[in-house]
């Protein structure tokens, strides 16, 4: 079985011939889309179809959480609430006579259904959601992307949102393990550090991962260093990925690296590294899939070609070996049920009910 661990990006709204060639490389397993890949629903649908023609088993993914992280927001796509709004709904419901936090869970399920159904109608397979970080009030990059500060509330709302995703045939990917909500630095531009103890992290930020192991098909670790546990960021740490996430918390799904072009991924053990070294470190630590984003527009995608060549060379000389288990986890993320096209979705009663529910969210 071939292992295709690399998720790459594409430059624009259509595929170029070099991008088609990259997608056909046996080490490439998918594409991450961004706002620059969006012009309209029809264009997005055609782009996804082109990706699948070039690589039928490609996993097409996107960061489409709601709030300020929603790549597609016009031409019929529903503006989704930031996850903090769902947490606030939970808090309000608790204080209202005759209602309960179950109403907020219903809202989260509606949000997940709308999110996934609209993406799948255009050919997107997976959104990197839900965010499981706690809202400690310290991290600007997380901020209102988090449901709440209480890990129990986060767990309940994330489970409900994952149910909505599943109703539309989409898997759930929890992030950023074990938690990015306490570290103040933004891992896009720096290497964040969280000094808290393992006991504190397991009791607070990492708690949702243990309770959601049956609801999550994938997890994305944080580019955050937790020096009380390991000197390496979680995405490069066997301690975090193998011993804690897999063994202690019992997670059996796919593990994605976060974007290897981020500053938090470019230093390992205090040494600056290239993307091939970072990818190998992530895979050797326990990641099944690694992301390299926002590089298709740099020197006509040369950084992506360098990574593919570097990974192929590492495989040829025995520095890295493909994993059948990892490839099976990647394949498991591909939707199993057919998606409704956009016209059929607009007539779907469950989707319309979910839309109506979201319209009441204040």
Each of the 362 residues of the chain gets a pLDDT tens digit; together they read 668 999 999 999 999 999 999 999 999 999 999 999 999 999 999 999 999 999 999 999 999 999 999 999 999 999 999 999 999 999 887 766 556 889 999 999 999 999 999 999 999 999 999 999 999 999 889 999 999 999 999 999 999 999 999 999 999 999 999 999 999 876 676 789 999 999 999 999 999 999 999 999 999 999 999 999 999 999 999 999 999 999 999 999 999 999 998 877 788 888 889 999 999 999 999 999 999 999 999 998 999 999 999 999 999 998 998 889 999 999 999 999 999 999 999 999 999 999 999 999 86
Q: Give the global pTM.
A: 0.96
Model pLDDT, residue 186:
67
Strand partners, 268: 271
- Cα distances (Å, whole numbers) of residue 295 to 10, 64, 121, 189, 305: 8, 19, 27, 16, 10
Q: Give the active site residues.
A: 188, 258
69-80 CB burial, b ≥16 within 10 A, e <16 = bbbbeeeebbeb
Indicate the helix (H) or strand (E) that contains 330: helix 324-332
Instruction: Please give the distance of CA 181 from its chain centroid, rounded to a whole number.
Output: 16
25: CB partners within 8 A, 6+ apart: 308
Instruction: Please give the distance of CA 165 from its chain centroid, rounded to a whole number.
Output: 13
- Counting Cβ atoms within 10 Å, is residue 82 exposed (0-12), middle (13-18) or buried (19+)? buried
CA distance 349 to 228: 50
Model pLDDT, residue 99:
67
Indicate the helix (H) or strand (E) that contains 49: helix 41-54
Model pLDDT, residue 146:
97
Taking a C-beta distance cutoff of 8 angstroms, is the pair 125, 111 a contact? Answer: no
Indicate the helix (H) or strand (E) that contains 89: helix 83-94
Domains (ranges, CATH) in the chain? 6-359 (3.20.20.300)
Model pLDDT, residue 95:
67
Indicate the helix (H) or strand (E) that contains 50: helix 41-54
Model pLDDT, residue 98:
54
Q: In a 3-state reduction of DSSP, which class is residue 226?
A: strand
Model pLDDT, residue 358:
96
Residue from 180, 199, 200, 202 nearest 191 by CA: 180
- Alpha carbon distance, N-terminus to C-terminus of the chain: 49
Indicate the helix (H) or strand (E) that contains 91: helix 83-94
- Counting Cβ atoms within 10 Å, is residue 37 exposed (0-12), middle (13-18) or buried (19+)? buried
Residue from 194, 173, 177, 188 nearest 141 by CA: 188
Using the Cα atoms of residue 234, residue 237, residue 239 and residue 245 in order, give the sign of their dihedral: positive
């Amino acid at each position: 079985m071939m292992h295709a661990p690399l998720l790459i990006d594409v430059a624009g709204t259509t595929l170029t011939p070099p991008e088609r060639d990259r997608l056909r490389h046996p080490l490439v397993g998918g594409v991450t889309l961004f706002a620059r890949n969006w012009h309209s629903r029809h264009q997005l649908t055609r782009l996804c179809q082109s990706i699948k023609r070039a690589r039928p088993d490609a996993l097409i993914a996107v960061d489409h959480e709601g709030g300020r992280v929603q790549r597609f927001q016009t031409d019929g796509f529903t503006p989704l609430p930031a996850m903090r709004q769902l947490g606030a709904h939970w808090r309000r419901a608790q204080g209202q006579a005759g209602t309960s936090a179950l109403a907020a869970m219903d809202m989260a399920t509606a949000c997940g259904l709308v999110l996934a159904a609209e993406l799948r109608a255009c050919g997107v397979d997976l959104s990197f959601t839900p965010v499981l970080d706690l809202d400690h009030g310290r991290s600007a990059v997380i901020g209102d992307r988090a449901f709440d500060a209480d890990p129990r509330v986060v767990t309940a709302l994330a489970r409900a949102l994952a149910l909505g995703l599943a109703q539309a045939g989409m898997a759930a990917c929890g992030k950023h393990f074990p938690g990015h909500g306490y570290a103040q630095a933004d891992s896009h531009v720096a290497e964040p550090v969280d000094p808290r103890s393992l006991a504190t992290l397991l009791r607070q930020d990492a708690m949702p991962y243990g309770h959601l192991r049956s609801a999550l098909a994938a997890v994305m670790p944080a580019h955050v260093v937790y020096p009380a546990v390991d000197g390496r960021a979680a995405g490069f740490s066997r301690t975090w990925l193998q011993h804690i996430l897999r063994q202690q918390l019992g997670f059996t799904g796919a593990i994605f690296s976060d974007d290897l072009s981020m500053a938090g991924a470019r230093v390992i053990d205090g040494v600056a590294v290239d993307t091939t070294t970072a990818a190998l470190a992530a895979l050797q630590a326990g990641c099944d899939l690694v992301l390299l984003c926002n590089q298709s527009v740099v020197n006509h995608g040369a950084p992506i070609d360098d990574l593919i060549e570097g990974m192929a060379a590492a495989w040829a000389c025995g520095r890295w070996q493909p994993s059948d288990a990892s490839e099976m986890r990647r394949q498991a993320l591909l939707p199993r049920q057919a998606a409704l096209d956009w016209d059929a979705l607009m007539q779907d009663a469950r989707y319309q009910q979910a839309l109506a529910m979201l319209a009441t969210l204040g």
